[in-house]
Structure 1
Amino acid sequence: MRIAYVVHQDPRGRFGGAEIYARHLAVAAARQGHETLVLTSAAPGSGTRDESSDGVGYHLMDTAPPRPRCFSFRASFDDPRAFALATQRLQDFRPEHLHVHHFLLGSARLAIWAATRRIPATATVHDYWAFCHRITWQLPGGADCPGPLGGWRCRGCGHPAYNRWPGLLLQPAHILGFLYRNSLLRQAYTAMSGVFCPSRAVLEAHRVNGFAHAKLIHRPYGLPAAEKLPPFKPGTPLRVGYLGRLAPEKGIELLLDAARQRASIHLSIFGAGDPDYTAALRDRADLARVDFAGSFAHETLRDVWRRIDVLAVPSVWRENQPLVALEAAQAGIPVLAADRGGLAELPELCGAVLVRPNSAAAWAEALAGLAERPAEWHRLRDGLRFERRIEDDVTAHLNAGATP
């Protein structure tokens, strides 16, 4: 079968969970004998082109030159250039199934285009972008958003220039832009044969925020098979790892403060982010107990696991289901996660332990407890489990597409 995948950034070498999962899925489909094509964005000015790796074809779409600011918002979800490039390539490829990971930097009209041509289409939602252009479903100050209300509430989260004089004169057009975005994305996801939600929290969030008519399906992520690390003893001090983007919603400050409070903890931070924010984290950290290790290629993940005793996921936003937590459990690395959003489902899924959210003291207590009681660390490691396979996800998506 010919399967086309849509993802916002080239998943080869990317650090984000959505991109990593997209690559896993395409490679798994190719190994099952399907002809696969990934449509994704190219670096501006690098040219639209076809490439291939691991048996998967990649169509990289260059939509340069950059748009004026007044048009960049629409281009984030309904880019006419991306739509034209994608549909032209799809007409040549003649897909028998379309699976969408993200419409960001592309066009949500692709799902409607597929429906009019009776091409079965499915999607995996990795975050809240379908109803929140900020992705995190948070207000600018970090508080939880009550919901878009069809797009009416979103104007306060748009570009600040529209919320002060003289930009207020253009606010009616600003509001119409959010209403159009919300309406188009609802149409796109409703046109699909199945919208897969890795966590119940994300499914419910979409259901109550305008996507109740879409065919929402709860299905946690699968992963490629991987061996568990050989038995090992935790270090002294306990080697705590954070892996992911360096961003305020990730709650990294909680771990920095926890490491400052307890000498039995040493924190390694793997990832990158905004330079100013990263500098602020460094200023806050006790560098005798914190190591900023930078980014790494996903192919070297097993080497990273050997450098830590426990993975910490302290997110302060309503996270979906971080792929890294499942990968850690699969490798035999105990996982501690904030009791919030989809993270609250990790204990039943992989044996993770929950920590009270937004509390550095709670993180210090939980991590120091493992450092001071190695038997508890071994108990957590022995209780880890994760057996869901990416190959089964390919089959589930195709089966949903085959269902009228």
Structure 2
Amino acid sequence: MRLLYVANGFPPAALGGVEIHTWEIARAMARRGHAVWVFCRESDFQRPDYELIREEVDGLSILRVVNDFKQTHHFLHTYVDERMEEIFLQVLQETRPDLIHFQHLIGLSARLPCRARPLRIPMLMTLHDFWPLCHRVHLLNRWGQPCPGPFQGGDCVACVRGPRPTSRLHSLLRAIKPWLPAPLVSRIMRRIGGAALSSWAEADQRGFQARHALFREALMCCALLMAPSDFVREVFRRNNITQPEIRVLPLGILPPDSEVVPEPGERNTLRIGYIGWFRPPKGVHLLIQAFRRIPDEGVSLHLFGPIDESYPYFRRLRGLGGEDPRIVFRGPFALEDRSQIYRSIDLLVIPSISPETFSRVAREALIHRVPVVASRIGALPEVVRDGVNGFLFEPGDVEGLSQILQRIVRCPSILKELDVPGPAQILSVEDHVQALEQMYREVLSVGD
């Protein structure tokens, strides 16, 4: 088969969950003898938007299109991009795929499936998150509360537009934004928040009705939709996305690196870990607050993830950590060091306040025999079973999380009594790809 994967980014430039998953399945499909291309968005403020970059990564043909929304001034253009669509059609003419698998369309254009449909190329899409329903992606509104979705009572207009800034500084910045250098705009947006520079007057009720209709049309262009968890499928179903069929296929996880040697003997301290982005929906501030309530010196907190000292939320985390020497910001790590990192911690905490759609890190930790403490939200309870392979607490409950951690610190043997990885099904990448390949053949046979 000639396969084209479409994603919002691709390693090594982008290392989020969707990007890593796309990299893993693209490589696996190439090993199985399929011809594979990847079409993705690239962030690069040193290049002009829409520059097409061609390269080979792990034997795969990667076509990266730069898009940093440098000249975006209209709400519609945050999710529809005609120039990106034209580049995509040129790529389709060049690669002539038998099948297109959309992983994510953010940063590209939500209309790509609609533009490809006249070419009669079978298409599938994996619903990795809620961007087709939620302009803020995570179904977490601007007030930090989980949202049921636009067709279940969510107020998209108030959430996205919010209170309009009235200060002279905000007004001035919005007025001069079109003439500011793109790197400067990026730095300002990181410091004071993108909403301050974006006055989406068009994001009214009619604007969101048009957005919902367009995304629904794009999903209808696909022969099949896939969800990584039961939770994701149910959220889309409750929000009127019932066609095409949505099948649950958990993402694949690479097995532990057998060449990594576990640390010898018993460590003097209990090491608690966090792995992920330092962003408000991830609830890292709750973890630090809960950890600071532990008086014991024989415990440490190791936080792994991309560090951006200019980002207000990260500066807040630094402040919450104070001068506590037990809290260490370790930064990101290379994919090949993953097994070593998991084997360096005794417990992983996932303190999310927004609904997790799958949680790769939870499964990675469990297959490395690391118990997990997680928020009881989204898809996390599907893999973390309270008292079985880890512990659950209510999202946002600092005291509840702290009590769990203090109980473990007082009696670390609790961790050895857990059944890790536990009863939840955790697919390998090869298991996932095998099931995916069967779906591809099924979709192609229907089109014959």
Q: Same fold (TM over 0.5)?
A: yes
What is the aligned-residue identity percentage? Answer: 29
Q: 1:322 to 1:352 in 2, by over 3 A?
A: same
* C-alpha contact (below 8 Å) 2:369/2:421 kept by paired residues: no
Q: Decide whether the 8 Å contact of 2:152 with 2:238 is kept in 1.
A: no
Displacement of 1:400: 2.9
For the 8 Å contact 1:9–1:19, the answer to whether it is kept is: yes
Tell me how far apart the structure 1 counterparts of residues 37 and 335 of structure 2 sit (CA, whole Å): 21
Alpha-carbon contact 1:197-1:217 (below 8 Å) kept: yes
- Provide the C-alpha distance between the structure 1 equivalents of 2:205 and 2:426, rounded to a whole number of angstroms: 45
Stretch deviating more after TM superposition (83-92 or 145-154): 145-154
* Higher RCO (Cα < 8 Å, 6 or more apart): 1
How much does 1:212 deviate? 1.7
Corresponding residue number in structure 2 for 1:389: 428
Match in the other structure for 2:232: 202
* Matching of residues 73-88 of structure 1 within 5 Å: 73-88=75-90
- Choose from 113, 125, 128 the match for 1:126: 128
Query: Which shifted more, 348-357 or 360-369?
Result: 348-357
* Number of the residue aligned with 2:303: 269
Question: What CA deviation, in whole Å up to 9, does each residue of 1:194-222 have, x standing for no partner?
Answer: 21111111111111113122311111111
Match of 1:17 in 2: 17
In structure 2, what is the Cα distance between the partners aligned to 1:361 and 1:234? 29
Code of the aligned partner of 1:369: R
**Partner SS for 1:39:** strand
Per the TM alignment, residue 245 of structure 1 is displaced from its structure 2 partner at its CA by 0.8
Letter in 1 for 2:408: L
User: Which residue in the other structure is 2:184 paired with?
Assistant: none
Distance 1:68 1:227, change over 3 A: closer
- Output the amino acid matched with 1:207: R
Residue-by-residue CA offset, 1:4-61 (whole Å, 9 max, x unaligned): 1111123325331111111111111111111111111122426312111112110011
Amino acid at match of 1:139: N
- Describe how 1:202-281 pairs up with structure 2 within 5 A: 202-227=232-257, 235-262=267-294, 263=296, 264-272=298-306, 275-281=311-317
**Corresponding residue for 2:192?**
none
One of 418, 432, 439 as aligned partner of 1:380: 418
Tell me what 1:331 maps to: 368
Mean Cα deviation higher: 24-33 or 170-179: 170-179
Could you tell me which residue of structure 1 aligns to residue 187 of structure 2?
none
| Selected match of 1:318 from 334, 344, 355 | 355
Q: In structure 1, how many angstroms separate the alpha carbons of the residues matched to 2:14 and 2:418? A: 30
- Asked if the contact 1:226–1:331 (Cα under 8 Å) also holds between the matched residues in 2, the reply is yes
Judging changes above 3 Å, is the alpha-carbon distance between structure 1 residues 227 and 188 closer, same or farther for their aligned structure 2 residues?
A: same
TM-score (norm 1): 0.90
Bigger CA drift: 390-399 or 148-157? 148-157
Matches within 5 A, 1:53-132: 53-63=57-67, 66-70=70-74, 73-132=75-134
More helix by share: 1
Range 254-263 or range 222-231, more displaced: 222-231
Shift in Å, 1:234: 6.2
Q: Is the 8 A contact 1:234 1:374 kept in 2?
A: no
Cα contact 1:235–1:309 (8 A) shared by 2: no
In 2: Cα distance, 1:216 partner to 1:181 partner: 21
Equivalent residue letter for 2:224: G
| Aligned position for 2:329 | 292
Taking a change above 3 Å as real, the CA distance of residues 153 and 65 of structure 1, as seen in their structure-2 partners, is closer
Where do 5+ consecutive residues of structure 1 fail to align?
none
Describe the shift of the 1:146–1:32 C-alpha distance in structure 2 as closer, same or farther (beyond 3 A). Answer: same
Higher mean alpha-carbon deviation, 212-221 vs 385-394, is at 385-394
SS in 2 for 1:133: coil
Report SS of the residue matched to 1:66. coil
Paired residues of 1:339 and 1:354 also in contact (CA < 8 A): yes
**Change beyond 3 A, Cα 1:383–1:59:** closer
Whether the aligned pair in 2 keeps the contact of 1:152 and 1:179 (CA below 8 Å) is: no
Pairwise mapping of residues 352-391 of structure 1 onto structure 2 (< 5 A)?
Answer: 352-380=390-418, 382-384=420-422, 387-391=426-430
Secondary structure of the 1:20 match is helix
Matches of 2:68 and 2:144, distance apart in 1: 32
Contact persistence 1:246–1:278 (CA under 8 A): yes
Aligned-residue CA RMSD in angstroms? 2.9
Deviation at 1:226, TM superposition (A): 3.0
Residues 265 and 190 (structure 1), Cα distance of their counterparts in 2 relative to 1, 3 Å cut: farther
What is the number of residues matched between the two proteins?
401
1:306 aligns with 2:340: no
Q: Distance in 1 between matches of 2:200 and 2:364?
A: 47
Q: Which amino acid aligns with 2:407?
A: G
- 2:385–2:392 contact (8 Å) kept in structure 1: no
Q: Is the 8 A contact 2:89 2:116 kept in 1?
A: no
Where in structure 2 are there 5+ consecutive unaligned residues? 175-198
Using the alignment, how far apart are the partners of 1:302 and 1:269 within structure 2? 16
Distance 2:56 2:132 in 1: 29
Query: Are the counterparts in 1 of residues 256 and 339 from structure 2 also a CA contact under 8 Å?
Result: no
TM-score computed with the length of structure 2 as normaliser: 0.81
Check conservation: 1:17, 1:324, Cα contact below 8 A: no
